[in-house]
Amino acid sequence: MGSNSSKEVSGPLGTVTINDKKENVPIKSTPPSGCPMHSAESNQPQSTIVSECPINPDNRMPMEANQQPSEGQPFDLSKNRQKSTIPKFNPPNENEKYWVYPSEQMFWNAMLRKGWKWQEAVEGKDKTINNENFTSKDMSDIIKIHNFNNEMAWREVLKWEMSFHLKECPCGPTLKRFGGRAQDYSPRARIRSWMGYELPFDRHDWIVDRCGKEVRYVIDYYDGGFLEETGNFALLDVRPALDSFEALWDRMKATYWRWTHEYFNYGNKETSSSAQQAAKQSE
């Protein structure tokens, strides 16, 4: 992590680009205040071991959600969380059957934990947001885009699973765990960049449970601008990772289907166009 570099901060089911500055982080002997086990300093001798909030390995976020406003926070943020349509693997109960997206406050706190300087953003000095003043509405927009992108990603995963593995797993897949790998570009993304296309601004790896079998999906997020027909800002490239021959075979079949679909659709369009022209001439 270098000085004045941009990076992507991973939150539950998504990331956000932030401006990151390298700083020396002092060693802590007690958990940060956001941790449930935090207590006041005692007179006992303190060890030099770094103590952190316990992290959930499934989403790389603190086990206990921090919904408290940060020190000096310039505006209030919503603490409401939206339930996703993404089923969770082996949920503890029916009330936790689906993954839940972070609130605006949780996302804000996650950004701060990774070194984001809100003072620069609010004052319009953060180049990663085009030097515009950051407001509470911007945080709300980030959450909406974040949630929408992940819903679209899961929809793409379901297309793969339902097309090739419906008989194998008729009840459908569930999302087991996930993580962001924004700077670890996939081979496909690198090859595309050598051909002149832009690199993705984010990457996620999702581990999906297919009725007892773990399958990894790679999701590359590309900047698509504002797409009026969908209201989305990102183009998603979702496919199974090449971790097995089965995944390779799935991708080969999908490529063949796309090619034949585009070819025959093109032929149908030409035939339809010719028929329309002939009809006009006969009138």
Q: Which pLDDT tens digit goes with each residue over 194-204?
A: 999 999 989 99
pTM over 0.85: no
The token duo for 47 is 């060890």
Q: 73, 75, 82: which is closest to 102 by C-alpha? A: 82
Task: Taking residues 77-87, report their average pLDDT.
Answer: 95
Whether 104 has a pLDDT exceeding 50, the answer reads yes
- Give the Å distances, CA to CA, from 254 to 145, 166, 247: 28, 15, 11
Regarding whether 268 and 238 lie in a shared domain, the answer is: no
Asked whether residue 224 falls in the same domain as residue 253, the answer is no
In a shared domain, residues 84 and 125 = yes
Q: What mean pLDDT comes out for the span 98-118? A: 87
Task: Write down the residue that tokens 């601004």 correspond to.
Answer: 201
**Does residue 155 share a domain with residue 267?**
no
- Domain shared by 238 and 130, yes or no: yes
233 and 262 together in one domain: no
The H or E element spanning position 261 is helix 245-282
Q: What confidence score (pLDDT) does residue 247 get? A: 96
Q: What is the pLDDT of residue 21?
A: 43
Question: How far is it, in rounded angstroms, from Cα 116 to Cα 120?
Answer: 9
233 pLDDT band, cuts 50/70/90, is: confident
Looking at every residue in the chain, the average pLDDT score rounds to 75
Longest dimension (CA), the chain: 98
Would you state the structure tokens that stand for residue 202, as one six-digit string?
A: 């984010």
pLDDT of residue 209: 97
Quick one: which of 237, 259, 249, 250 has its CA closest to 186?
A: 237
Residue-number span of the structural domain to which 165 is assigned: 5-38+47-243
Q: What are residue 56's DSSP bridge partners?
A: 61
The total domain count for the chain is 2
Q: What is the rounded average pLDDT of the residues 27-45?
A: 39
- The pLDDT, as a whole number, for residue 164 is 96
Considering the domain architecture, whether residues 103 and 132 belong to the same structural domain is answered as yes
Looking at the fold, whether 174 and 226 belong to one and the same domain comes out as yes
Claim to verify: residue 119 and residue 229 sit in the same structural domain: yes
Specify whether the CB–CB gap between 18 and 12 falls below 8 A: no
The answer to whether residues 256 and 182 belong to one domain is no
- Check pLDDT > 50 for residue 12: no
